[in-house]
């Protein structure tokens, strides 16, 4: 039995998705702030899926709840009560929560970064905020102060950094457009800086999870995805280092399926194995269902000038790498445009398949 006859497309997709989301991980962000600082607005402005509104919340302490949403590799730990007279109880509960999670052998359970939100209009850092920052930093959790509702600094950011010298940084943010009484329009600001600062302190193994969850920096999604393409191309080339018969060239297809699954996960495209198999299948062969390995490779070869001549012969390492790179870069280009046009929110799998088929037709050399 040849490799092509042995290949199971559906199983390959299932395995690729499982591995892609396992590698992605899960990032946990603690957000704290007094009532009225605009935490929910900030969360919805930074993360996909109207997260603070549509996510499922569950209490983890009396004043903190965990918010999650299916398909987004993120948990928000929303802490309230910083203005309460009995803040000591809130702080003690947070200490227990942070310590308990830090003891877990699963790094996906740790608290990875904290955003302490202070409204610029308040012009004041409360003792409760000072205590919270010290407690978090003492437990090796990086803290970023988010100065919300930014309109006029007047030295407040410098004051925050002076009072809270232990924080990683402070960033002024206006999460949504504001219209002042005078009719002056203030556009959103500071969100890309917040994403960049957070990426700098999130553990290396979870940067892709944060990249996928956020919707502010689409270029970041592209950059992380290109690293996946480079790795897949190298793997395909390695497999074909000794020229392989075309009949066995389907051996590179699982690499490409894994690449597409990894790019999809990195962009934050939430799709199940059924959707991905249909999408990839329609992209490659223009059909749905289960696909013969020989047909898949023949379709992919159309993307490379002159590659059709290898049919019936062999596929070399350079051809395998070129096919994989062209396929991956085209997929990234399509997702980038769709996400930008959708203000960072993910398109449907149908929209992706349709857009890629158009892109693919432009790349195909042999009809």
Q: Which domain holds residue 271?
A: 217-363
Look at residue 3 in the predicted model and tell me its pLDDT: 44
Residues 48, 197 within the same domain: yes
Look at residue 287 in the predicted model and tell me its pLDDT: 37
Per the domain annotation, does 249 fall within a domain? yes
Start-to-end CA distance of the chain, whole Å, equals: 29
User: What would the two tokens of residue 182 be?
Assistant: 């005078």
Look at residue 250 in the predicted model and tell me its pLDDT: 65
Return the axis-axis angle of helices 253-267 and 293-301, rounded to nearest 10°. 70
**How many angstroms separate the Cα of 248 from the Cα of each of 3, 5, 149, 286?**
5, 9, 59, 22
Residues 311 and 232: their CA atoms lie apart, in Å, by 22
Residues 267, 198 within the same domain: no
Per the domain annotation, does 342 fall within a domain? yes
Residues 229, 125 within the same domain: no
Per the domain annotation, does 211 fall within a domain? no
Helix (H, G, I), strand (E, B) or coil at 213: helix
Per the domain annotation, does 7 fall within a domain? no
Q: Give the global pTM.
A: 0.86
Residues 309, 169 within the same domain: no
Per the domain annotation, does 21 fall within a domain? no
**Which domain CATH number covers 42?**
3.40.50.300
Per the domain annotation, does 3 fall within a domain? no
Q: Which of 185, 206, 227 is the last residue of a domain?
A: 206
Say how many domains are in the chain: 2
Residues 181 and 164: their CA atoms lie apart, in Å, by 33
Local confidence pLDDT in tens for the 367 residues of the chain: 444 445 566 677 777 777 888 888 999 999 999 888 999 999 999 999 999 888 888 889 888 999 999 889 999 999 987 877 778 888 999 999 999 999 999 999 999 999 999 999 989 999 999 999 999 999 999 999 999 999 999 999 999 999 999 999 999 999 999 887 777 888 999 999 999 999 999 999 999 999 999 999 999 999 999 999 999 999 888 876 665 554 445 667 788 888 988 999 999 987 665 666 666 666 555 433 333 444 455 555 554 454 444 444 456 777 778 888 888 998 999 999 999 999 999 998 788 888 887 876 676 543 3
Per the domain annotation, does 16 fall within a domain? no
Residues 331 and 363: their CA atoms lie apart, in Å, by 12
């Amino acid at each position: 039995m040849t490799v092509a006859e042995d290949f199971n497309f559906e199983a390959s997709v299932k395995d690729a998705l499982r591995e892609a989301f396992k590698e992605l991980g899960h990032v946990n962000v603690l957000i704290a702030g007094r009532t009225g600082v605009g935490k929910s607005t900030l969360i919805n402005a930074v993360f996909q899926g109207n997260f603070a509104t549509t996510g499922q919340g569950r209490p983890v302490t009396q004043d903190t709840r965990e918010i999650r949403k299916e398909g987004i590799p993120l948990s928000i730990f929303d802490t309230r009560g910083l203005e309460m007279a009995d803040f000591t109880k809130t702080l003690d509960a947070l200490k227990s929560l942070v310590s308990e999670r830090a003891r877990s052998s699963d790094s996906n359970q740790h608290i990875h970064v904290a955003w302490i939100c202070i409204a610029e209009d308040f012009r004041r850092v409360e003792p409760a905020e000072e205590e919270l920052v010290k407690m978090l930093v003492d437990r090796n959790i990086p803290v970023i102060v988010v100065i919300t509702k930014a309109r006029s600094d007047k030295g407040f950011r410098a004051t925050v950094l002076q009072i809270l010298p232990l924080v990683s940084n402070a960033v002024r943010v206006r999460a949504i457009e504001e219209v002042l009484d005078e009719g002056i329009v203030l556009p959103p600001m500071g969100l890309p800086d917040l994403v960049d600062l957070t990426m700098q302190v999130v553990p290396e193994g979870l940067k892709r999870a944060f990249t996928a969850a956020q919707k502010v920096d689409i270029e970041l999604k592209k950059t992380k995805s290109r690293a996946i393409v480079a790795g897949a191309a190298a793997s395909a080339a390695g497999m074909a280092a000794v020229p392989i018969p075309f009949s066995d060239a389907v051996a590179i297809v699982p690499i490409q399926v894994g690449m597409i699954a990894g790019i999809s996960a990195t962009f934050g495209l939430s799709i199940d194995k059924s959707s991905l198999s249909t999408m990839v299948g329609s992209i490659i062969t223009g059909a749905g269902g289960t696909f013969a390995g020989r047909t898949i490779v023949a379709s992919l070869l159309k993307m490379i000038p002159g590659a059709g001549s290898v049919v019936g012969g062999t596929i070399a390492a350079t051809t395998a790498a070129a096919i994989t790179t062209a396929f991956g870069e085209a997929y990234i280009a399509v997702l980038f445009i769709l996400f930008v046009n959708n203000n960072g929110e993910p398109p449907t799998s149908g929209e992706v398949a349709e857009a890629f088929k158009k892109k693919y037709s432009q790349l195909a050399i042999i009809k």
